[in-house]
Amino acid sequence: MKRLKILSLFLFLLFPSQSLADGDPSVETEALEIADRLRCLVCSDENIETAQDETAKDMRFFIRRHLADGKTQDMVVHLLLAQYGEMISLEDAPSPTTGNEETFIALSFLSCFAAMGFYIFRRSRNFKA
């Protein structure tokens, strides 16, 4: 898994996006807001915007690239947390709204109905055991 992360980071740096908005003020302000919420892995309590480490520089580039590609701030934060882990967060990460509870409830009802259908089918046949 670690090799996959390193390979994806290498490919990410190998093919930089041409659509980075160098002068776009909205991307820059969003990037600064995200950078204030995250800490550098090497410099323990310093946010990534002020840190001078290579990892912080990679994270800043990652943030600006994804914001320029049209991703939301919460999406970028979740991508960073997935790649670097929860220890980079200075605050609680925003919770993803994927609807896992609704999916679980729907699958529970579906399995109950399938079990009842199988039971009714089995009882209606004359099986010789």
Q: For the chain, what percent of residues have pLDDT higher than 70?
A: 69
pTM over 0.95: no
In a domain, 117, yes or no: no
CA–CA separation, 53 vs 64, rounded Å?
Answer: 17
| pLDDT attached to residue 17 | 47
In a domain, 110, yes or no: no
Contact 77, 93 (CB under 8 A): yes
Residue 13's closest CA among 53, 58, 48?
58
Domain count, the chain: 1
Phi then psi dihedrals of residue 101, to 5 deg: -65, -45
Which residues are CB-contacts of 88 (< 8 A; sequence separation ≥ 6)? 38, 39, 40, 41, 48, 59, 80, 81
In a domain, 118, yes or no: no
In a domain, 108, yes or no: no
User: Whose structure tokens read 């919770």?
Assistant: 95
* One-letter amino acid of 80: L
In a domain, 35, yes or no: yes
In a domain, 20, yes or no: yes
Average pLDDT score over the chain:
76
Residue 51 has pLDDT above 90, yes or no: no
Quote the domain boundaries for residue 10: 2-88
Average pLDDT of the residues in 85-107: 70
In a domain, 40, yes or no: yes
In a domain, 17, yes or no: yes
Q: How many CB atoms lie within 10 A of CB 64?
A: 22
Average pLDDT of the residues in 7-11: 58
The CATH number of the domain where 6 resides is what?
Answer: 1.10.8
